[in-house]
Amino acid sequence: MQPPVFIGSEIYRGSSYGARHPLSIPRVPTVIDLCRALGWLPQSQYRTSPRAKPQALTPWHTPAYIAALQAAETSGQVTPEIRARHQIGTLSNPIFGEMFRRPATAAGGSLLATDLLANGGVAYNPGGGTHHGMADHAGGFCYLNDPVLAIKAFLAQGLSRIAYVDIDAHHCDGVAAAFPNEPRVLMISTHEAGRWPFTGTLDDRAGSHAINLPLPRATNDSGFAMALHEVILPAVQAFHPQAIVLQCGADAVTEDPLSRLCLSNNAHWEAAALLRPLAPRLLTLGGGGYNPWSVGRLWTGVWATLNTYEIPDRLPEPARAILAALSWTRRPALPDDSLIDTLRDAPRPGPIADDLRTAVQHLRARRSTWV
C-alpha cells in the first residue's frame, strides 16, 4: 500500500472568518508547519488541494446557493433575502474574503482524496470535515459539506458500504440530512449531549440505521474509550465497509472553548489507529477545533498516527517555536508549557457517567440493526 497522502493548501494561511469569530485562529497551516518541522511531511506525500468547481458541488448543494456564495465573496455583501434563505452574512457564517474559495478548496481536497483512494489507501484532509453544511444554506461555520460530497463520490465509484464516523463535539446534522434511508452509508456520531445543533439524539437513526451517541458533559477518555470499543468499532466491523470517512473534529478536548467535553487528544489518535485497518480506504478529515494550540497538536498527531510515526515526548525546538508563536485573542498570554513543549496530552481517565453507560447498553441492544 502507498503511504498516506496529506492534502493541504496555502489558502488557509492568513484566512480568517473575522477577528471575533471562533475561526479567527490558524489551524491547517499550524499542522502543515509542525509536520514539516518534525520531518513527517515529505513532498512525495503532500498534495495541493484543488478548488472544487461549482458543478462538482451540485451532487449536494443547490446551484442557487453556490451562486449566492460566489456573489457574496465577490461583492462582500448580501441582501436580507439572501441572508434569510442561505444563512450567510450572519454572525456564525460571516462574509469574508475567501468565503467561497476556502470551503471549495476543502471540498476539492476531499473529492481529490476519493480519486486517490479509488484502489485503496489513506488520505488526510485536515481542512475538511465541514459537516454542518446543508444543501441550500450554511450552518455552524460550514458553507459547504465536504464529507457529504466525498461519500457521494465514493458511491458514484460503485462502492456500496461506506462508514462515516464523526467524533466532533457537535452532531453532524448536515451529513444526517444527506443520507436518510440510505443503506449504503452507516453514519456513527459521538457528540456532546445538549450542544448545538441539538440534533442526533440517542434514538435518532436518521431515517435508517444511523448510530448517535450523545456524550454527557465532562465525558473523559474513559467514557470515550467505552464508546469506541463497545459501539463504534463493533458497528464498523459488522458493516464491513469498503471505505471509512472519519471526521476528527478537535473540539471535544478539555481546552476547547466551544464544548464541555474533557477528552485528551489520545482519544482521537486511538480512534484513528483502530479504524484504519477496518477498511481498504480511509479518508480522515478535520472539523471543529477552536483553541489554536490544542487543534494544531491534535491534528498533527492524527497525521503521525496514520503514518505510525513515534510521537516524541518533547518537541524539538523548530516545532516548539511554531506553537510558541501562536496567539489567541481569548488568551493573550501563552498557555501552559505542555501545550507548547509536547504533542501528546496527559491521559484524562475518570469515572464514566451513568447516562453514558445506559446509552451504550441501549445501542448494544440494537446491535442486530447495525448491519
Instruction: Supply the residues annotated as catalytic.
Output: 132
Query: CA-to-CA distance for 156 and 171, rounded, in angstroms?
Result: 25
Nearest to 51 by CA among 79, 70, 33: 70
C-beta separation of 85 from 136 below 8 A: yes
User: In Å, how far are 196, 231, 236, 315, 347 from 338, measured between CA atoms?
Assistant: 30, 32, 34, 10, 13
Burial of 30 (0-12, 13-18, 19+ CB in 10 A): buried
Query: CA-to-CA distance for 66 and 12, rounded, in angstroms?
Result: 20
Distance of CA 193 to the CA centre of its chain: 18
Q: DSSP assignment of 105-159, as one string?
A: HHHHHHHHHHHHTTTSEEEEETT---TT--SSS-BTTBSS-HHHHHHHHHHHTT-
Query: CA-to-CA distance for 212 and 243, rounded, in angstroms?
Result: 20
C-beta separation of 289 from 130 below 8 A: no
